[in-house]
Amino acid sequence: MASEDEVSLLVIVVDVNPIWWGQQAQREPEFNLSKCLDAVMVMANSHLVMTRTNKLAIIASHCQESHFLYPNKHWKAGDVAGDEVSSGSGDGKYELLSVANDLVAEEIRNLMARTQVKGHQTDTLLAGSLAKALCYIHRVSKELEAGQDMKSRILVVKAAEDCALQYMNFMNVIFAAQKQNILIDACVLDSDSGLLQQACDITGGLYLKIPQKTALAQYLLWVFLPDADQRSQLVLPPSVHVDYRAACFCHRNLIEIGYVCSVCLSIFCNFSPICTTCETAFKIPLPQMMKPKKKKLKTAN
């Protein structure tokens, strides 16, 4: 029985990239964004129901912004069903859950409604969403009562592909999470993401690429619902081997042995006497040449 002092915060970052989801709806009509959000909601409800002190946050990661679907700025846990006429779905559900679900639905509707199409912004702002998640966790941890302990984790539901330009920010977020002992779990729907693999490996979370999108809710509940302490008691999918090879700066090939400039630390696959990034010239000492024997004869004479 968890005591009053243990607070577990779960932040779910859902990738709602409209371009990818729109294309997905055309590819596979049986699994669209609505179904995905349903599955995420099931997971969120389960988390809230597990322990009374569990906390939740859901962030939608869009290509234009990262938006908090839950909790809402203007909504406090205290005034439930105050002004709402239609309180809940009338099926006797736990009030908190019904309010939360309604809130999420409304927020996502608003978010999608204000989407503006911009050609060059097609990538999910995942690094930004993770950073917001970290900030939220930090804020909540400061608002705890004295004597309360908080364990937090982030679950990323990823749909679109990785954006290589976000690498730097991503790595910063990962290391910040590691420092704060925050786990980053990843549930990947479509294509494997090297960045998320690294994130899970470094922070100690779980990475899973699911074979069947329609069973998303099952995977979420089985693998990602238990928190870190309980995972050690369960038999879960083993960790993926992460490819930590660096890519050379010139061709972006993954290399195992390369050359590193000692001034700017840029990696190259071939040796060149001048580093192209910082324009430092390097001199490699040539092997000693054997002195010609003619000289000896001369001095002897």
CB of 19 to another protein, least distance (A): 5
Q: Does 237 bind another protein (CB under 8 A)?
A: yes
Interface with another protein, residue 18, by CB under 8 A: yes
Instruction: Classify burial at 230, counting beta carbons within 10 Å of its beta carbon; exposed 0-12, middle 13-18, buried 19 or more.
Output: exposed
How many of the other CB atoms lie within 10 Å of CB of 239?
13
Closest CB to another protein among 189 and 254?
Answer: 254
Nearer to another protein, 1 or 113 (CB): 113
CA distances from 204 to 228, 240, 244 (A): 9, 12, 16
Binding mask 97-116 for another protein (x = CB under 8 A): ----x--xx--xx--xx-x-
Distance separating alpha carbons of residues 46 and 44, to the nearest angstrom: 5
Beta strands 6-15 and 149-158 are: parallel
Map the footprint of another protein across residues 128-157, applying CB under 8 A: none
Is 269 one of the binding residues for another protein (CB under 8 A)?
A: no
Binding another protein (rule: CB under 8 A), the pick from 37, 177, 182, 183 is 37
Residue 202 is a binding residue for another protein (CB under 8 A): no
Number of amino acids touching another protein (CB under 8 A): 69
Contact 42, 31 (CB under 8 A): no
Q: How many CB atoms lie under 10 A from the CB of residue 187?
A: 25
**Shortest Å, Cβ 270 to another protein:** 15
Which of the stretches 6-14, 138-146, 224-232, 274-282 binds another protein when contact is defined by CB under 8 A? 274-282
Count CB atoms within 10 A of the CB of residue 90.
8
Quickly tell me which residue has 């972006």 as its tokens.
252
- Do the Cβ atoms of 90 and 144 come closer than 8 Å? no
Task: For the segment 168-197, give every residue that binds another protein (CB under 8 A).
Answer: 168, 170-171, 194-195
Judged by beta carbon, residue 139 or residue 283, the one nearer another protein is: 283
Residues found near another protein in the complex (CB under 8 A): 18-23, 25-26, 32-35, 37-39, 41-42, 45, 101, 104-105, 108-109, 112-113, 115, 117, 119, 122, 161-162, 164-165, 167-168, 170-171, 194-195, 208, 210-212, 214-219, 222-223, 235-238, 245-247, 249, 252-254, 263-264, 266, 276-279
